[in-house]
Structure 1
Amino acid sequence: MTKGHLHLYEEAPTEGWKPPTDRLPAITGWMFLGILLGMAVVTFGLAALLSIEGTPKRTEALKANKERVLILGASSGIGKELALKYASRGASVCVVARRPDALKEVIAECKGVLLSTPSRAASFDGRRKEAFRTEEEVNKLVLGVVGNVSDVDDMVRVREEVEKAFGGVDTVLIVAGVSATRPFLSIAGSTMTPLKKEDGPTVINKKSRVRAGETGREGIEKIVDSARKSMETNYLGPVVAYATFLPLLSTTSLSPSVLLIASVASLVPAPTRSLYASTKSAALSLHQCVALESEILGLGVRFLAILPGTVRTDLRSKAVDAPPPSTSPASAANKGLDEKWSKITLEPSYVVDRCVAALDAGGVKNKEIFLPAWPYRVAHLAFYLPGLKSIVENGAREKYRNGM
């Protein structure tokens, strides 16, 4: 031992020495559970502190029935439910979708909600009576525009229509998205053949359990095409939306807000979600950077990102990498999921309620909200901690094992 220094262990010989790991505590199951619980407490505690922003609720500055809402991707699922939710509050709603027939249906349902929802209480001979909107009033509150969120001309036209009909916009909801649900090499046409014992001498990679079939030009082109389609909607859509609507938001609203429907897959990787997760991750990164730039510039726009787990919609039935057959939103949502995970898919109404609540809460901080916070927020934190990443990956493998 060197004089004047304290060593935890005796000096070891230079050859054949190994660290005294027997003196270090092993991480047991109970210790791991304690770590997870501790992370959960810290996470939710910080979230609670950050939510106390000391500012009035947004609805105090902007009444629900005065809000002007633009929903990009409103033909079905979360987008459609958001449109109906805001219509029930008496807001001015502009719905945008690529499919004219689906858009027409959403418009009709929004108008039906507005016609059947009391708009105010009027006084007649000293008695109060609910008053309902006329068709003329309702027609002024609902606007539908056929358009592709990634098409510049379409979005400029939407902006012009919104400005003309509503005089501006208070809330922009970016919901449009496409899914991809197959393993990466499977999309490119590579087939996996399990190795047999007699294949041993011919296999160089001794860790391999399968022989991957060669990908041909056609298969590679197919995966590139699927990637382009994913990128066009999931990433370029938000690019066009922010560039088109942020200036209008900033200058025409008392409390401007933009909300992006992202995904837990943006931050927690999972098998069979390579194209979907990577494009959603790019969109979330864009969202966060633009939010920071807007804050520095002083635009006064609040940015929110919602990161839900699997939602019970028909999104997966329209996957860009060969849509799987589906007879219902439930079966489409559960495509490729392990049975026990399919039981906890989220209802669109739950996601919508959380979106609206987060927007109504007000404040100036930009936020990312995991739905549900447990287990996904904790999984996100654990993924970057030594020793815990493999546990998160194992959970992802278990969830999507039926899709492999």
Structure 2
Amino acid sequence: MPRTVLLGALLALWLLRYATTSRRQRVKQLPASEERVVILGASTLDGLGAALLKQYLLRGTEHLMIVGRRQEGLEQVRESMLAQTMGRRSASARVEIVQAELTSSADVAALRDRLRTQWGRIDTLHVVFGVTSILPILGVADVDPCGVNASGTASLDVHPTREGLDRIAATVQQSSDGNLKGTAMVLGALLPLLQTTSAHPAVVVIGSVAGLIPAPTRAVYCATKASQHFLVRSMALECESQAGTLVPGTQQRRKHVPFLLVAPGPIKNSFVAKYAVDARTGPRDNREKALEVDEVVRATLQRVDKAQWGTLVLPSRVLYGSLLAQLDATRGWIGRMAHRMYHY
């Protein structure tokens, strides 16, 4: 009973915050034709970045930039989204492409400098890029007793070799770079630009429900996404303190940059198949009830338009699970659901 009461209290507080921030309309303060939008991670046709680009084109946004590692993928996304919005977008719409490795300080600094000289201002930053990990820790080392191994075959060994431990280290490093290091670097580079050039700045970061609820075969992914979540939430608090401070050498004061952290469950796209750092076997989880890409994008933009910041958990029912997870209830109903979800 005490857990139920606490859960209800937490949910009530969350709903109260949601309601009290819903009166402001950012979309009315910042017309689509004037908004400058940067999407980091948009080189896959069925990805969230591509869907965000399409929606911004449809709503009349004219200044757009997509950034990713694969030049060919970025070009495919741009051409496809421009074709799909033909006759429905602004005739003045332009989609800039920047090929960049967002865990490289040189590439991130070059991106920042290009934005400063070419646009002079950014209003909305979407952090969409990242990687996933889909094996249990022992599976990365090829000694998983349940047979879920990087090699794809069962192992007769009990203890990981040194090479197996090195694979664990490499998986953790790659995951941390893609989900935590990259996010920290781009926010460090672009937040000052948002604070000093936009009247209505905003940052949207795509996290994951994996950063809220532990899951089997997702230990490394859950850990790095949880780290990303706390990074974003902590930086949001830092931005509150920085708002109103003087920009050195001027009489200008920094704007407050609000954050929206989106934590979706599994999505029906190729993210897991293409961006897993520890296996190439594709997702093993049950994706019949996975979210549609457009569903996530619509919900995200609705929150941004209404200036409803904080954390958006999708689907909304998973919010209950995330709260239960904080109460260490994962060995019960949540734990059973996770085992069924990931077939482990």
Bin for the TM-score computed over the shorter chain = 0.7 to 0.9
- Asked if 2 retains the 8 angstrom alpha-carbon contact of 1:66 and 1:90, the reply is no
1:83 corresponds in structure 2 to 53
Q: Measure, in 2, the Cα distance between the counterparts of 1:232 and 1:384.
A: 26
Higher alpha-carbon deviation: 276-285 or 383-392: 383-392
- Asked if 1 retains the 8 angstrom alpha-carbon contact of 2:57 and 2:89, the reply is no
Counterparts in 2 of 1:178-257, with a 5 A limit?
178-192=131-145, 213-257=158-202
1:260 maps to amino acid:
V
- Structure 1 residue ranges without an equivalent (≥5): 1-26, 120-132, 195-209, 325-331
Q: Measure, in 1, the Cα distance between the counterparts of 2:22 and 2:268.
A: 36
Q: What do the CA deviations read for 1:18-66 (whole angstroms, capped 9, x no partner)?
A: xxxxxxxxx8xxx99xx49x94697267425533337530011101221
- Asked if 1 retains the 8 angstrom alpha-carbon contact of 2:265 and 2:291, the reply is yes
1:367 corresponds in structure 2 to 310
- Say if 1:111 and 1:386 are closer, same or farther in 2 by CA, change over 3 A: closer
1:21 corresponds in structure 2 to none
2:37 is the counterpart of 1:74: no
2:335 is the counterpart of 1:378: no
1:329 corresponds in structure 2 to none
Counterparts in 2 of 1:198-347, with a 5 A limit?
213-298=158-243, 299-318=255-274, 319-324=276-281, 332=282, 335-338=283-286, 342-347=287-292
- Asked if 2 retains the 8 angstrom alpha-carbon contact of 1:87 and 1:113, the reply is no
Higher alpha-carbon deviation: 46-55 or 161-170: 46-55
2:74 corresponds in structure 1 to 103
- Say if 1:337 and 1:174 are closer, same or farther in 2 by CA, change over 3 A: same
- Structure 2 residue ranges without an equivalent (≥5): 148-154, 244-254
- Asked if 1 retains the 8 angstrom alpha-carbon contact of 2:40 and 2:126, the reply is yes
Report % sequence identity: 28
2:99 is the counterpart of 1:146: yes
- Coordinate RMSD, CA, aligned: 2.6
For residue 33 of structure 2, give the secondary structure of its aligned residue in structure 1. helix
Q: Measure, in 2, the Cα distance between the counterparts of 1:272 and 1:112.
A: 39
2:100 is the counterpart of 1:173: no
- Say if 1:112 and 1:48 are closer, same or farther in 2 by CA, change over 3 A: farther
- Say if 1:360 and 1:384 are closer, same or farther in 2 by CA, change over 3 A: same
- Asked if 2 retains the 8 angstrom alpha-carbon contact of 1:304 and 1:368, the reply is yes
For residue 203 of structure 2, give the secondary structure of its aligned residue in structure 1. strand
Q: What do the CA deviations read for 1:270-319 (whole angstroms, capped 9, x no partner)?
A: 00001111111111110011100110221400111000000111111121
- Asked if 1 retains the 8 angstrom alpha-carbon contact of 2:261 and 2:311, the reply is yes
- Asked if 1 retains the 8 angstrom alpha-carbon contact of 2:239 and 2:256, the reply is yes
Deviation for aligned residue 1:390: 2.6
- Asked if 2 retains the 8 angstrom alpha-carbon contact of 1:178 and 1:234, the reply is yes
Deviation for aligned residue 1:84: 1.3
- Say if 1:169 and 1:379 are closer, same or farther in 2 by CA, change over 3 A: same
Q: Measure, in 2, the Cα distance between the counterparts of 1:308 and 1:100.
A: 27
Q: Measure, in 2, the Cα distance between the counterparts of 1:285 and 1:42.
A: 18
- Say if 1:357 and 1:212 are closer, same or farther in 2 by CA, change over 3 A: farther
For residue 70 of structure 1, give the secondary structure of its aligned residue in structure 2. strand
Deviation for aligned residue 1:103: 0.7
Q: Measure, in 2, the Cα distance between the counterparts of 1:42 and 1:259.
A: 23
- Say if 1:142 and 1:386 are closer, same or farther in 2 by CA, change over 3 A: closer
Q: What do the CA deviations read for 1:155-192 (whole angstroms, capped 9, x no partner)?
A: 22222222333221100000001111111101012142
- Say if 1:387 and 1:220 are closer, same or farther in 2 by CA, change over 3 A: closer
- Say if 1:50 and 1:150 are closer, same or farther in 2 by CA, change over 3 A: same
For residue 332 of structure 2, give the secondary structure of its aligned residue in structure 1. helix
1:13 corresponds in structure 2 to none
2:63 is the counterpart of 1:63: no
Q: Measure, in 1, the Cα distance between the counterparts of 2:178 and 2:17.
A: 35
Deviation for aligned residue 1:251: 1.1
2:38 maps to amino acid:
L
Deviation for aligned residue 1:387: 5.8
- Asked if 2 retains the 8 angstrom alpha-carbon contact of 1:317 and 1:323, the reply is yes
1:52 corresponds in structure 2 to 20
1:130 corresponds in structure 2 to none
The structure having more radius of gyration, on CA atoms, is 1
Deviation for aligned residue 1:212: 6.7
Q: Measure, in 2, the Cα distance between the counterparts of 1:306 and 1:378.
A: 16
TM-score by length of 2: 0.86
- Say if 1:193 and 1:148 are closer, same or farther in 2 by CA, change over 3 A: closer
- Asked if 2 retains the 8 angstrom alpha-carbon contact of 1:173 and 1:259, the reply is yes
